[in-house]
Amino acid sequence: MWQGAFSKEDDYTFRIPRSYRSDMKQDGVFFTSERMLESLMADQALEQVANVATLPGLAGPSMAMPDVHWGYGFPIGGVAATLVDEGGVISPGGVGFDINCGVRLLTTDLTADEVRPLARKLADTIFRNVPSGVGSKARIKVDRRQLERILQDGARWAVEEGYGMEEDLERTEEGGAIEGADPDEVSEKAKGRGLPQVGSLGAGNHFLEIQTVDRIYDEEAARAMGIRSTGQVTVLIHTGSRGLGYQVCHDKVRELENLYTKDSGNFISPKFDIRIPDRQLVAAPLDSREADAYLGAMRAAANYAWANRQLITHWIRESFSEVLKEKGLDTELHQVYDIAHNIAKIEEHDVDGRREKVCVHRKGATRAFGPGHPDVPLPYREVGQPVLIPGDMGTGSYLMAGTDEAMRRTFGSTCHGAGRLLSRSKAVRNFRPQSVLDMLASRGIYVKAKSPKVISEEAPDAYKDIDSVVEVAHGAGLSRKVAKMLPIAVVKG
């Protein structure tokens, strides 16, 4: 149970004062509600918020989104921005191991009444067409030269190879390929892990979900984002950079750890003159060779993830076409948006009345740029950037919109999902796979999973209540509710 100092500022905003610990350089701010506060105190995620507040060159407070829970270095749900030109640092722990784990939403012209009788067959076909599970191998074979292109060009490589359309790229963060990727900084071991996994789902909390629109909160924004009415069928894709991204993080953390030594409970880098309370926060100044190396490798892994989701999108489209054709039905699956939620990006934001270049770490957090921002695709610029918040496989997911308030308070950031309540090992002990499947079936949800264990790990009760998390994000103004979708069928790795 965390017992640190904090104060309540309003219904959804709480502050850990800089005075809580002598090594904090900024306050900590976390967004939650009285209802969720007790469960939040159950682990040490807020101590990690305080730890992050010790990093050099912070442009504002260390922050935690309403889905926050314990993570590696940064909490999952952590956000921090560091000043590029005034001593800021990059910390791989502020991105995590699943670099550019992210979400993509597709819309269809189908209704729930049309799809429910086909849900099992659709899920089974998608399961067959999209490789999933621990160590899953790709449907396509790429050579080293093609992998280098994927690391450089991301989703654009996939579209140029015939796996999608230009519209997909226009509706993907960074156009599906972030600039500054450096494949040479990706180790041979990481590339070796990535080669056989291109276009695969993986395991854990990654999923493909056929959904139906349950509620529309903002008619104007919903129309702009392709949501026309309740009962409309959508598809959500949630996956990342697989073993390649994990290896990139592992490699770069180990390289930085070699530059730190332990001293009186802290970790010190003589080279960088940095002192941190947790080895998992190892960091490098943004003007250093080490920072350039990490950013180049991280961006390459992010591009791999965007290519991954683009390939999966293509095979989902094929799966729908295959199943619908048998029933004399047809539809086009159009992309709403694709957003990363484990990434660090150089952006410009207002800091103390000045426009500053900052490195925004979003670890289990989603970009939420408001209306009018030039990085928001034109179809959405008047209403704000689409924000995709997946829930667990038994409840619902949300489509939201970025806000001006997020730009002002959180460097344009919001939550990324429900957030875990129980560890995977505790979930396995608490929930029998068949009981979970029976409960979901009683709600009209069909699940196709690679293993019984993942069903227990991802049981709905292992997660926070998505409605409560979204209510905080909406109430705090970090993103605005547009629509809620409920699952019909779920494919898990």
Q: Which residues are tagged catalytic?
A: 416
Token reading at 246: 């994990």
CA distances from 320 to 170, 211, 219 (A): 23, 13, 27
Radius of gyration of the chain (CA): 21
Token reading at 296: 């180049």
480-492/446-449 β-pairing? parallel
Helix residue ranges per DSSP H, 22-143: 34-40, 45-52, 112-115, 119-129
Per the CB < 8 A criterion, the answer to whether 102 and 386 are in contact is no
Give every CB contact of residue 303 below 8 A, 6+ residues apart in sequence.
150, 151, 152, 153, 154, 155, 176, 177, 178, 181
Return phi, psi of residue 411, to 5°: 55, 40
Token reading at 72: 């590696």
Per the CB < 8 A criterion, the answer to whether 80 and 94 are in contact is yes
Between CA 311 and CA 143 the distance in angstroms is: 16
Which amino acid is it at 352? Answer: D
CA distances from 268 to 13, 80, 276, 286, 336 (A): 33, 21, 7, 17, 45
Between CA 122 and CA 488 the distance in angstroms is: 10
Instruction: Name the residue with tokens 């989104």.
Output: 65
Residues pairing with 361 in the sheet: 80, 344
